Amino acid sequence: MNLREIQQKFNTRDKCIKFLEQKKWGDTPISPFTGKTNVTKRAGTIYYHCNSTNKDFTVLKDTIFEASKMPLPTWFMLIAIMLNAKKGISSAQLSRQLGITYKTAWYAQMRVRCAMVDDGEELLEGILEMDETYVGGKPRRRGVKIDPSVASLSTVTTEKPKRGRGTSKIPVVGIVERSGKKRVVTKVMDTLTSRDMLSMLKKYVAIDKSIMMTDEFRSYRAFDEYLQHLTIEHKKEYVRGIIHTNTIEGFWSQVKNGIKGQYQVLSKKYLPFYMVEFSYKYNNRSSKSNLEKLVSSAVEDEKCVVSYKPKKNVKRIVNPPKTSKNRKKS
Summarised one tens digit per residue, pLDDT across range 104-135 is 999 999 999 989 988 767 899 999 999 999 98
Q: Name the pTM for this structure.
A: 0.85
pLDDT at 31: 96
Q: Which of 132, 286, 319, 135 is nearest to 218 (CA)?
A: 132
Tell me the domains of the chain and their CATH numbers: 3-116 (no CATH), 124-267 (3.30.420.10)
Confidence label for 269 from pLDDT (cuts 50, 70 and 90)? confident
* Segment 214-230, tens digit of pLDDT: 999 999 999 999 999 99
- Sorted by sequence, the CB contacts under 8 Å of residue 329 that are 6+ apart come out as 123, 206
Average pLDDT over residues 71-96: 94
Q: 329 versus 56: which is more confidently predicted?
A: 56
pLDDT at 276: 93
pLDDT at 221: 95
pLDDT at 154 over 80: no
pLDDT at 261: 83
Contact 258, 87 (CB under 8 A): yes
Q: For the chain, give the number of residues.
A: 330
Alpha-carbon distances of 118 from 221, 269, 317, 318, rounded to whole Å: 28, 19, 10, 8
Average pLDDT over residues 136-153: 56
Alpha-carbon distances of 212 from 37, 130, 184, rounded to whole Å: 47, 7, 13
pLDDT at 251 over 50: yes
CA distance 78 to 3: 10
pLDDT at 147: 58
